[in-house]
Amino acid sequence: MDAKPNGELIPQGGGDSVPLTRSPLIVGRREACDICLPFPTLSGRHCELTFKEGHWIIRDLDSTNGTSVNGAQIQKKILHSGDAVSFGSRNFTLQYTEMGRRSNLDEFDEELEEVMSMSLLEKAGLAKPRRHPVNPVLTTDDASEQPTPVPEPPAAETRPETPPT
């Protein structure tokens, strides 16, 4: 049995809280959105909030100014009560009663971050995972070794020019 959606988005800096009583909820600037926030920094359809297995999950809908959780821009993330959520430049605190098992969702969150960091070709199996170059670290042993100077080539001999006879 799925838990009933609950909670609220509390605007940081004051204002009326936004009740979260059903799922899914579309947040955006358009009047047709479930949560309409008529601010210029929000996209028409900015993000989606879904209540699943007793937890809220947020997903950015390719918004112009992005969606952040606790200061980090996200594409999709499991939310916990007390998280700071930002849509464009509008900041809220999410408060709700978490009802699901957290361990399953933490694993989901890790898998989600791994998938979100992959390119579309990698997800489709058409490209190998990107390998990040390892930057060599200069150790103190390496620093003590001085490069061997290359000897200069011998100077060419110059002969005095003699006039032809």
Beta bridge partners of 76: 59
The CA distance from 59 to 79, in Å, is 10
- Looking at residue 76, its pLDDT comes to 96
Average pLDDT value for the chain: 80
133, two tokens: 């170059």
pTM for the predicted model, two decimal places: 0.62
Among 25, 23, 27, smallest CA distance to 51 is for: 23
- Looking at residue 111, its pLDDT comes to 61
Q: What percentage of the chain carries pLDDT values higher than 90?
A: 52
Among 98, 96, 133, 105, smallest CA distance to 20 is for: 96
pLDDT per residue as tens digits for the range 98-118: 886 654 555 555 566 665 556
pLDDT per residue as tens digits for the range 117-165: 566 666 666 766 555 444 444 444 444 455 566 666 666 666 666 666 6
Longest Cα–Cα distance in the chain = 115
- Per-residue three-class SS string for the chain: CCCCCCCEEEECCCCCCEECCCCCEEEECCCCCCEECCCCCCCCCCEEEEEECCEEEEEECCCCCCEEECCEEECEEEECCCCEEEECCEEEEEECCCCCCHHHHHHHHHHHHHHHCCCHHHHCCCCCCCCCCCCCCCCHHHHHCCCCCCCCCCCCCCCCCCCCC
Q: In which band, very low, low, confident or very high, does the pLDDT at 66 lie, cut at 50, 70 and 90?
A: very high
Contact (Cβ atoms closer than 8 angstroms) between residue 108 and residue 102: no
- Looking at residue 136, its pLDDT comes to 43
